[in-house]
Structure 1
């Protein structure tokens, strides 16, 4: 016979359900709901303390999440992931991916899914997806597979990959840390990787061949394409074009690079060619042809000053207003580099007007007109001075150039930190903290940019989730729920028990928060194992896997929200593609856990 729960246990369950409902309704931000939850726990336990405790003990419980080593580890991993992004360490993978897509779209999608899966095993899901989204949007704009057909499968591959290691997602770190608090043995980085790899092989055909067919081509609803900029490319001394015909190197360039002149004969050193393309395409062209689209002396000066001051180089778009002195001037005659120390990389103008000869000087340079958009590179102070001095309107979309000189270093720090944890030489908390410190010391991540690496939403959500987890444990709510669930699960097979736990946690994670579902589900699964006499580890892993099966709603995980706008998705798109994947993964993982643990 199941006894009634204590008043404290009832209160803990009410607070937990209220938090779930608040997250699901979405009327308040995640940060507000998390902070309110912490406040309710602190105030409630102060006036109604737990038996044999002092009122101040409730305050310690409510705010314990902010000092928990799981949160510290998550923050350190975010910092290291930021280091990979700002140094461009992942860009070589992006360029390889684009070449494969040009060869064959179907094979390109398969390679993309595999690459996303592998990367997210070591790097937090969000930076991996942030890097890959622009590639797929760009491929769609160039006539490739629609972004709306690729982004949801790609997101699913990233989430499955993140499930494969204890550091793949912040949720995994949270579940493992709570399990250790409950007395479970330590789990290494790759402790359950074989199980997830096997399940991924089952899920991959669905992601690759079925999911894209369930999604519409939303290209007609997507936002306008990136701006294209006209630039004069000057060939350098070691340019691959020198001594060759233009046609021989065209296959090596981005497909959206267009040449506006057709020089006769082999190309010469310092020869200037008029080209146009997106900012990323211009960067690829400069890298491939070893040329510059702005005077090399000003670019060298910008880089040298950036190195001396430690300030990042930024690229911004500026619109020429009617009051600007630049109107009717060309870039060589404008004196921009001398006056302001910035480099104009290109000029955006409607393509229909680019061919008109009266818009060009005798030297072939485009004359600046009102409404043109300039792509300008420089340091922040110089960019602001240029905008004020020449009556330019700075547009949104400023981005900092990757510090590529530190890309190898950032990658080495990440590999070293993961390697030390994976072989058991250091706990993941220590290796992640050491890696984050190294990112700071070496300049891969700067102290004044930590705010961009850390997510306030994640921090307060994890802190609130840890507090909720402790609350339901200390009040006896987890024990009571475990007893209640055990009564219903005692007649089921071990595989059915695992599937039921996994589906229960999956339901929570898709309508609330995976971090919260983890902190609620982990102690419940531990108590169910004790009640049914089953090994605790597979039930804990069922919770961990269930928390990562967040494919069925856009609110289930932050990467789901990242792709929603880019793919013009609706809520039903996630349900249509995500529910079958949840069922497939639940059945596969449950069977694999039974086989692995001889249940």
Structure 2
């Protein structure tokens, strides 16, 4: 028999169950539940401190998450991810992967899952996901598969791959080192890789075919049809259009692009073609065809002023009001570029204003009318001056263009940070923080825009989970649970013992931390093996695998929290997809351990 848990351990278990239930029900926001959890821990330990501690020690424990290295690491990784997005550093990779998704979305997802799985076998889980996360978010923004349907499966593939080698995660190294201290032989890098590869043959099909169907599409749907802008594409030297028939180039362009004056023969340099399409489609066509939709001199002027002022170039939609001087003027006669230093990229005319004589092919002669929408590019201050002076109403917030001049720099900073952490030269916390600082210093991320990179929901959730993990460990709740479990295992078969140990460690890792689960579970598994006369290695591996089955809650692992804001996930999304995966992996890995070690 074991003694009953102390009152603080009972309290820790009650708080854990209460937080889980509150998250699962979803009636209160994640932020409120997290803050209430911190408050309960702080107040409870202040008035009922643990033995040999002061009331203020309880407050320090409750709020320790806000200064914890894990939270600093996550915030730094978010900032570096933001740097890759705003500089467009990952656009080439995103376009390659996007082409696979365009060929077939299911094939694209499978390729991504397999790639993430094998990468994480040799590189720490967090850097792998940090590299892939902005690519998938960028693809979703460009009309690809919704991020909410891909990020949880992608994260799970990374976690499964991470448990395939001893160097895949720091938790694997911790379990192996503890086992070595207990007297077990040293495990080599690929000691248990065949078991994980076999389990992946079961898990990856679930992540590929089933998990995305369990997740909703969290993209914000536009309440109106996207505006189509008419513009004049200028063919520059070196354009892929030069000397080619238009029909040979059309398959490479977005489907939304339409040509209104198709040339009869081959396209020549400096030729102007009238096209129409959405804003995103026009930008993609400009990149593909290496052309411009505004006079080159004003584009160069805007870019020069942007570099000198260290301000981002923005694109904004403005509608022409009844008081505007632009009414009845054409773009060439308006003098907009000379007066304000901004470029009009295109004109959208609402259908109700289109007359029988209107023709997109006559853009140069189209007279601006009340209600027209102009797509304008420039620096923020000139854009505001243009809107005020010419009585234009800004319809949508400014959309900043990627700072592509810093794309290589941002990519280098990210690769340097990931590389230093991957080879073990620096901890991920230090390398990520250094990378975030470099992003600020070099201007890849503006300091006043850092709020866009961070998520308040993730920050308070991380802080609450760290405090709860410390509470479970310091009160002895984790140790008591392990002792209670060991009493009943003597009546089970070896396969059931393995499954029970794995489930117990999985429970700890999803609500406490991987380190807690490894520290508590490894010696318990070793002692159980000695008491029951079982080989210790498969039980130790059951602990190692269980520490990595952290799919069921967002608080289980830092990569789970990294994808939470980008995917727009709720707590229930992790439960819906994670619990079946945990059960599937537990059964599969238990059977494989029994077969491998002939138990």
Q: TM-score, normalised by structure 2?
A: 0.80
Other structure's SS at 1:127 match: helix
C-alpha separation between the residues in 1 aligned to 2:465 and 2:217? 38
Following superposition, the deviation at residue 452 of structure 1 comes to 1.9
Q: Indicate how the Cα distance of structure 1 residues 116 and 310 shifts in structure 2: closer, same or farther if over 3 A, else same.
A: farther
Residue 84 of structure 1 contacts residue 407 of structure 1 at CA under 8 Å; is this kept in 2?
yes
Which residue of the partner structure matches residue 23 of structure 2? 23
**Structure 1 partner of 2:548:** 545
Q: Which residue of 1 aligns with 2:50?
A: 50
Mapped partners of 1:184, 1:319: distance in 2: 70
In the alignment, the residues of structure 2 paired with residue 529 and residue 88 of structure 1 have an alpha-carbon distance, to the nearest angstrom, of 48
CA contact (8 A) 1:164 1:192 kept: no
SS at match of 1:3: coil
Alignment of 1:170-209 (within 5 A): 199-208=199-208
Structure 1 residue 442 displacement after superposition = 2.3
Q: Deviations over 1:518-537 (max 9, x none)?
A: 68856664574366355786
Q: Which residue number in structure 1 is paired with residue 250 of structure 2?
A: 250
Aligned to 1:143: none
The one of 525, 529, 553 equivalent to 1:529 is 525
- With over 3 angstroms needed to count, the CA separation of the structure-2 counterparts of 1:210 and 1:450, relative to structure 1, is closer
| Equivalent in the alignment of 1:394 | 394
Secondary structure at the counterpart of residue 329 of structure 1: coil
Q: Deviations over 1:465-516 (max 9, x none)?
A: 111111121112222222223334444456545544655677899xxxx576
1:198 to partner: Cα distance:
5.2
Corresponding residue to 2:153 among 153, 156, 160 = 156
Deviation at 1:86, TM superposition (A): 1.5
CA distance, structure 1, for counterparts of residue 449 and residue 199 of structure 2: 38
Match of 1:270 in 2: 270
Higher mean C-alpha displacement, 312-321 vs 298-307: 312-321
Deviation at 1:375, TM superposition (A): 2.2
**Alpha-carbon distance, 1:260 to partner:** 0.8
1:409 to 1:354, Cα distance in 2 relative to 1, 3 A = farther
Is this contact kept in 2: 1:235–1:269, CA < 8 A? yes
Using a 3 Å threshold, how does the CA distance of structure 1 residues 391 and 69 change in structure 2: closer, same or farther?
same
Q: Which moved more, 1:222-231 or 1:247-256?
A: 222-231
Report 1:508-519 matches (<5 A).
none
The runs of 5 or more residues in structure 1 that have no matched partner are: 140-146, 167-171
CA drift at 1:99:
2.9
Any idea what the Cα deviations from partners look like across 1:536-556, whole Å, max 9, x if unmatched? 8645544443322569xxxx9
The change in CA–CA distance for 1:196 and 1:397 in structure 2 (over 3 A counts) is: farther
C-alpha separation between the residues in 1 aligned to 2:359 and 2:77?
A: 51
**Structure exhibiting the larger radius of gyration computed from Cα positions:** 2
In structure 2, distance between residues paired with 1:454 and 1:522? 30
CA distance in 1, matches of 2:243, 2:317: 35
**Equivalence for 1:169:** none
Do residues 413 (structure 1) and 401 (structure 2) align?
A: no
CA contact (8 A) 1:30 1:461 kept: yes
1:78 and 2:85 aligned: no
Partner of 1:547, secondary structure, is: coil
Shift of the alpha carbon at 1:351? 6.8
Name the CA shift for 1:289/1:572 in 2 (closer, same or farther; >3 Å). Answer: closer
User: TM-score, normalised to structure 1's length?
Assistant: 0.80
Note the 1:102-141 alignment, pairs <5 A: 102-104=102-104, 107-114=107-114, 122-124=128-130, 126-135=133-142, 138=143
- The verdict on how the C-alpha distance between 1:432 and 1:259 changes in structure 2, with shifts beyond 3 A counting, is same
Q: Does 1:439 align with 2:445?
A: no
Q: Distance in 1 between matches of 2:139 and 2:156?
A: 14
Question: What SS does the aligned partner of 2:232 have?
Answer: strand
Give deviations 1:152-199, integer Å, cap 9, x for gaps. Answer: 356413432255449xxxxx88x78998999999x9999998876654
Question: How big is the shift at 1:582?
Answer: 4.5
Contact 2:80 / 2:439 at 8 angstroms: preserved in 1? yes
User: What's the RMSD between the two structures over aligned residues?
Assistant: 4.4
Q: Is the 8 A contact 1:116 1:128 kept in 2?
A: no
Aligned to 2:92: 92
Aligned residues: 570
Give the conservation status (yes or no) of the 8 Å contact 1:79–1:450. Answer: yes
| 1:55-96 deviation line (CA, Å, top 9, x unaligned) | 222222222222222222222222222222122122112222
Deviation readout 1:363-403 (Å, 9 max, x if unpaired)? 64543333333222222222222232333332345432112
Q: Residue 15 of structure 1: CA displacement?
A: 2.1
- The question of whether the paired residues in 2 share the 8 Å contact of 1:321 and 1:370 is answered with yes
